[in-house]
Amino acid sequence: MHNIKDIRNNFDVFKSKIKSRNVNFKLDIIIDLDLKNRKLIKEKESLENKKKEISKSRDKTLFVKSKEMSKKIDKIAKDQLIVKKELDEILSSLPNLPLDDVPLGIDEKSNKEIKKYGEIKKFDFNPKSHYEIGENLKMLDFDLASITTGSRFVFVYDKLALLERAISNFMIDTHTQLNGYKEISPPLMANLGSMYGTGQLPKFENDQFEIKIENKNERKFLIPTAEVILTNMVKDTMVNLKNLPIRVVASTPCFRKEAGSYGKDTKGMIRQHQFYKVELVSIVENSKCLDELERMTKSASMILDKLKLPYRKVLLSTGDMGFSAEKTYDIEVWLPSEKKYREISSCSSCGTFQARRMKARYKNKENETVFLGTLNGSGLAVGRTLISIMENYQTKDGSIIIPEVLRPYMNNLDKIQKN
């Protein structure tokens, strides 16, 4: 959520930053609404003040007048509320402002590669896609999932299911033991307030799976990412400075409608309605967001280092960033079958953007109440990690070598092969 005062004082900067995010919305209306809003507030408050005086005087002869004023106040308050609501609706649907070092661009083509890591393996055969490998092993079944559930779901069997579980456990252990994150097993549903807090609502409602609930005052959603729940752990709270930074990690299923991506990645496990993801969330003093972003990105990429998978770090452009982000690094892993890097993690600093929506604050050293900084990142997407292991560690006969760091998590199994 944007601060109207900041917008007012720096409208041109605000305008150009929002524009850089490919929002075409006539922003000038914000100024109009703000002016109108403040005018009505002024009117209302002056009447309220007079009314208060009457009440304080306890002068019975003025009581009638006071009653009239109440009616007037009600009317103005109603008008004011309409204006305020319109203003808030606009402000809450505008994305965060990108930091100055974020490359300008309309999509991923403008992303800036920071660095490549690891070595791309040369195969002496034509590497297969993960879904070919999985189906040959009879350990992935997309057809069955489409019968029981629908498209973009999958059954994972046997040793491949074990591998998926191992990946998740390995990641959590790494983050808790080496990177200072605390493990959480959170609810997998979020209420309206939480969805708003992290920025999934109101703008991206049609990407969310909503749970049907009898009580229509109550809305619940399956989490599209654990970020929603983990970040909202500080919603409406005043965090004690000495408890910062807060670093938490959770492995959860994530649910997304993937509306608008019809025909994209329809084959395989790349883009599913349900997938596991290990999520990192940091809650920090707002001045420390950028340091924390570097730290978080390192924590995430450490996983790929340990798995010995080739990847690259990319700085996203203004057009490719998520709604709440002010700066985002993507980590992209090499997929031999596609002969390109694919996103496996996205680490974002949201600055105070989410904290404003959540009313999540702390008292700084000067004893002022200020908004927290929030960051989130995948550490990593489990499904896509599974894919990348299958593809990068495949052998000519269709088996999969288990990366060494995962073997302790798989009863020391070193290879998955056809039964």
Partner RNA sequence: GGAGAGAUGGCUGAGCGGUUGAAAGCACCGGUCUUGAAAACCGGCAAAGGGGCAACUCUUUCCUGGGUUCGAAUCCCAGUCUCUCCGCCA
DSSP secondary structure letters along 380-414: EEHHHHHHHHHHHTB-TTS-EEPPGGGGGGGTT--
Instruction: Rule CB under 7 A: say whether 158 interacts with RNA.
Output: no
Instruction: Rule CB under 7 A: say whether 3 interacts with RNA.
Output: yes
10, 25, 29, 45: which one binds RNA (CB under 7 A): 45
21, 44, 247, 327: which one binds RNA (CB under 7 A): 44
Q: Give how far Cα 298 sits from Cα of 16, 42, 227, 413, Å.
A: 31, 51, 18, 28
Instruction: Rule CB under 7 A: say whether 42 interacts with RNA.
Output: yes
CB of 209 to RNA, least distance (A): 20
- For RNA, the closer CB: 51 or 312: 51
Selection from 148, 130, 181 nearest residue 274 by Cα: 148
d(CA 324, CA 99): 12
CB of 38 to RNA, least distance (A): 4
61, 126, 185, 215: which one binds RNA (CB under 7 A): 215
Element at 255 (helix H, strand E): strand 246-255
Cross-strand partners of 343: 332
Tell me if residue 277 falls in helix, strand or coil.
strand
Instruction: Rule CB under 7 A: say whether 286 interacts with RNA.
Output: no
Q: Which residue has the tokens 């605390």?
A: 182
Determine contact, residues 274/153, Cβ cutoff 8 Å.
yes
Instruction: Rule CB under 7 A: say whether 235 interacts with RNA.
Output: no
Instruction: Rule CB under 7 A: say whether 218 interacts with RNA.
Output: yes
- For RNA, the closer CB: 234 or 303: 234
- For RNA, the closer CB: 2 or 128: 2
d(CA 367, CA 359): 17
* Residues from 57 through 116 that contact RNA (CB under 7 A): 58, 63, 66-67, 70
From residue 330 to residue 369, the character string flagging contacts with RNA as x (rule: CB under 7 A) and all else as - is ---------------------------------x-x-xxx
d(CA 376, CA 357): 16
d(CA 419, CA 409): 20
Please identify, among the stretches 56-64, 103-111, 178-186, 274-282, the one whose residues bind RNA according to the rule CB under 7 A: 56-64
Instruction: Rule CB under 7 A: say whether 55 interacts with RNA.
Output: yes
- For RNA, the closer CB: 24 or 240: 240
CB of 54 to RNA, least distance (A): 5
DSSP conformation class of 270: S
Instruction: Rule CB under 7 A: say whether 52 interacts with RNA.
Output: yes
Q: Which residue has the tokens 């509306």?
A: 259
d(CA 147, CA 136): 20
Please identify, among the stretches 87-95, 211-219, 378-386, 387-395, the one whose residues bind RNA according to the rule CB under 7 A: 211-219
CB of 287 to RNA, least distance (A): 17
177, 217, 411, 412: which one binds RNA (CB under 7 A): 217
Determine contact, residues 328/63, Cβ cutoff 8 Å.
no
Sequence-distant (6+) residues with CB within 8 A of 200 are 207, 208, 221, 224, 228
CB of 179 to RNA, least distance (A): 28
CB of 40 to RNA, least distance (A): 9
Instruction: Rule CB under 7 A: say whether 26 interacts with RNA.
Output: no
Per DSSP (E only), the strands in 104-194 are 112-117, 140-141, 155-156, 182-183, 189-191
Token pair belonging to 144: 């069955």
Residue numbers at the binding site for RNA (CB under 7 A): 3-5, 38, 41-42, 44-46, 48-49, 51-52, 54-56, 58, 63, 66-67, 70, 215, 217-218, 238, 240, 363, 365, 367-369
